[in-house]
Structure 1
Amino acid sequence: MVEKAGGYEGSSVRPGKYARIERERRFLLAHPPAPSSVTATRAITDRYLVGTRLRLRRAQLPDDTCELKLTQKVPVPLPGAVQGLITNICLSPSEYDLLASLPAAELSKRRFSVPPLGVDVFDGPLQGLVLAEAEFTTDEEAQSFVPPPECVAEVTDDARFTGGHLVGASRRDLLEWPAEYGLHPEVP
C-alpha cells in the first residue's frame, strides 16, 4: 500500500483506530467441501450499495441468530495478499433494515468453515462457483501459506473474484472466468 498524506493512495481512509489492513488469499475449488470437513456453516446475503464501497451483510447462523454488519472495503491496486483497508460496523436489526432500503446489488452464498479456509458456495446466477479464502494477520503468514490440494487455482490477484465484482457477474462470466484457470464449474 502506498501511503500518502491523509491516507492511502486513492483513499481518505487510514489504517489504525477504525480501519485495518485486510490480508487474504482466494482460491477456486472444483467442488464444495466434504460435509465431514465442515466445522460451521452460515447463509450469507451481501448487498453492495450502489455507487459506494459499502457492503451490507446478513449472516444467518445455524442457531437461527443473525450477524448484521456494514462493511467498507477500500481496495489497493497492488498484487498479493494485502487487499486494502476494511472497516466493519455491527448493526441492530432496525439499522440493518434502514440501510437495506437503499439501492443495492445482491449476492447470496453459503459459507463453510473448513479451517484454515472459508469456502463460499454461491447461489443464484453464480450457482456452481466455489471460492475459498484464507485470512492472515501478517504479510509473512500470507506469503508462507501453502493451500490445501483442493485449491485448484489461486485468484487472489484477479479482481473479478472479489464480491464487489462477482455481484455483477453473469452466467456467461461464471463459465468463462474459471475456464481461464482450467476449471469448468458444474452448472445446473
Structure 2
Amino acid sequence: MTPQKNSMPDEPVRDGKYARVERERRFLLARPPLPAAVTVSRRITDRYLAGTRLRLRRAESLPGGACEFKLTQKVPAQRTGHLQGLITNIYLSPAEYDLLAGLPAATLSKTRLSVPPLGIDVFDPPLHGLILAEAEFTTDEAARTFLPPPQVVAEVTDDIRFTGGSLVHAHRDDLLSWLADYDIRPAPTNPRNP
C-alpha cells in the first residue's frame, strides 16, 4: 500500500502576494539518464531547518559554475494530486546563506540533471540508488494531461515518503524498503564505499 498525504476538503490553493501555487508530479526511475540527454547539471545541498517549513538551498552549476542560494518555504496543500501547495522563494547573497546555514538543520545532497521536461535528482549517500524525477507545471490542465516518458518506473506524486521533507530524515534501510515497494532494487555498492 502506498502512503498518501492527508486528505482534506477541497480548499482552494491560490497564488498569494508572495507565494505561488506549486504544481508538480514526481516519478521514480531505475537508472540515471544517458549523459547525452542532460542539458544542465547542478549540485544541490538542501538544509531543512529544524522545526520549520523552511529549506535553505545551495545550488552549484556543474562543472564549477556559479552558485545560487535561496530560502524556500513550502506550505503543503494537504491533499493528493499534482497541486502541492504554496511555495515562496527568497534569493540570498553568499553572506546571508552562510548566516542561515549556522541554524540547526537536516541535510540532503543530490545532483540534479535537467532532461526537459524533467528535473532528475540522483541522490548522495545514504540515499544512493534513489533517482527521482520531477515535472513542474504552470496550469492544472498541463499537470493532469502530462504523459510520463517511458523510463519512468512509477509515479510517486502522492507518496509522501518521496518528498524532500521526508527523505531528509530517511535511513538507508528505509529507502531500500520504499524502493522495493515499487520493485526497484538499487545495484549493490562497493563495501568500502557504501
Give the TM-score taking structure 1 as reference length. Answer: 0.92
Q: Distance in 2 between matches of 1:67 and 1:186?
A: 32
The aligned length equals 179
Structure 1 residues 73-152: aligned runs within 5 Å? 73-152=74-153
Tell me which amino acid in the other structure corresponds to 1:38: V
The whole-number CA distance in structure 2 between the counterparts of 1:175 and 1:47 is 23
**Cα offset, 1:23, TM superposition:** 0.3
Q: Where does residue 60 of structure 1 map in the other structure? A: 60
Q: Which amino acid aligns with 2:11?
A: V
Aligned to 1:2: 11
For 1:34-53, what aligned pairs fall within 5 Å after superposition? 34-53=34-53
Gaps of 5+ in 1: 9-13
Where 1:95 maps in the other structure, the secondary structure is helix
SS of residue paired to 2:25: strand
Q: Does 1:26 align with 2:52?
A: no
CA–CA distance in 2 between the matches of 1:152 and 1:122?
17
Alpha-carbon separation, structure 2, partners of 1:131 and 1:59: 17
Per-residue deviation at 1:183?
Answer: 1.4
Provide, for residues 121-177 of structure 1, a one-character-per-residue CA deviation record: whole Å limited to 9, x for no partner: 000210111000000001100000000010100000001100000000000011000
Whether the 8 Å CA contact 1:23–1:136 is kept in 2: the answer is yes
- The percentage of counterpart residues that share the same residue type is 68
- Whole-Å Cα distance in 2 between the matches of residues 187 and 55 of structure 1? 31
User: In 1, Cα distance between the equivalents of 2:98 and 2:68?
Assistant: 13
How far apart, in 2, do the equivalents of 1:106 and 1:139 lie? 31
Q: Which amino acid aligns with 2:175?
A: L
Aligned to 2:162: 161
- d(CA) in 1 for partners of 2:57, 2:109: 10
Shift of 1:187: 4.2
TM-score for the superposition, normalised by structure 2: 0.89
Q: Does 1:182 align with 2:183?
A: yes
- Aligned-pair distance for 1:103? 0.1
Counterpart of 1:11 in structure 2 is: none
Cα separation, 1, equivalents of 2:57 and 2:165: 13
Across the aligned residues of Structure 1 and Structure 2, the Cα RMSD in angstroms comes to 1.2
Cα distance in structure 2, aligned partners of 1:111 and 1:44: 7
Q: CA deviation at 1:77?
A: 1.6
Residues 47 and 107 in structure 1, CA contact (< 8 A), matched pair in contact too: yes
Dislocated runs of 4+, deviation >2 Å? none
Q: For residues 44 and 119 of structure 2, what CA distance do their matches in structure 1 show? A: 12
User: In 2, Cα distance between the equivalents of 1:165 and 1:80?
Assistant: 17
Is residue 44–residue 108 contact of structure 1 (8 Å, CA) maintained in 2?
Answer: yes
Q: Distance in 1 between matches of 2:160 and 2:77?
A: 11
Residue 71 of structure 1 corresponds to which residue in structure 2? 72
